[in-house]
Amino acid sequence: MEKVTRLASERGVVIFTKSSCCLCYAVKILFQELGVNPTVHEIDKDTEGREMEKAIARLGCSAPIPVVYIGGKLVGSTNEVMSLHLSGSLIPLLKPYSATLS
């Protein structure tokens, strides 16, 4: 859990994914389209991946992966990201971290 919190508090957009997960890939593409380069941590490639996966599951997001943090704060999974974006609330969150948006 400590590793998750530590990585999550990095600056900008942090996404926990798995290398085989195509929905995670889609979320990454979305952030890139919005002018942000997210930091992607593939937990299946991490030595502590199992513990990280358990810690992430305890966060209670709508799906286990991807899990997105913006500026150290938990946003959620794909559903939450999409809802935020359609309601127009995602871009304001990204402004500090994007050259193109701000």
Partner 1 sequence: MNSPTSHFVPPRRMGVYDPIHQISMWEENFRNNVDLSASTLLIDDAEIKFDNQSEYASHGIPGTSKQYDQEANRLADKIQRRLAQNREAARKSRLRKKAYVQQLESCRVKLMQLEQEVDHAKQKGLHIGGTGLGSNSLDFAASVNSGITSFEMEYGHWLEERNRLTMALRNALNSHVSDIELGELVDGAMSHYFKLFGMKSAAAKADAFYVMSGMWKSSAERFFFWIGGFRPSEILKILVPRIETMTEQQRSDISNLGKSCQQAEDALSQGMDKLQQMVSESVAAGQLEEQTDTPHMSTAMERLAALVSFVNQADHLRQETLLQMSRILTKRQAARWLLALGEYFQSLQALSSFWANRPPKPA
88: left (phi over 0), alpha (psi -120 to 50) or beta: left
- Nearest approach in angstroms of CB 82 to partner 1 is 6
Our CB check for partner 1 shows the closer of 7 and 63 to be: 63
Binding site for partner 1 (CB under 8 A): 20-23, 25-27, 29-30, 33-34, 63, 78-79, 82-83, 85-88, 90
- Nearest approach in angstroms of CB 33 to partner 1 is 5
Our CB check for partner 1 shows the closer of 6 and 22 to be: 22
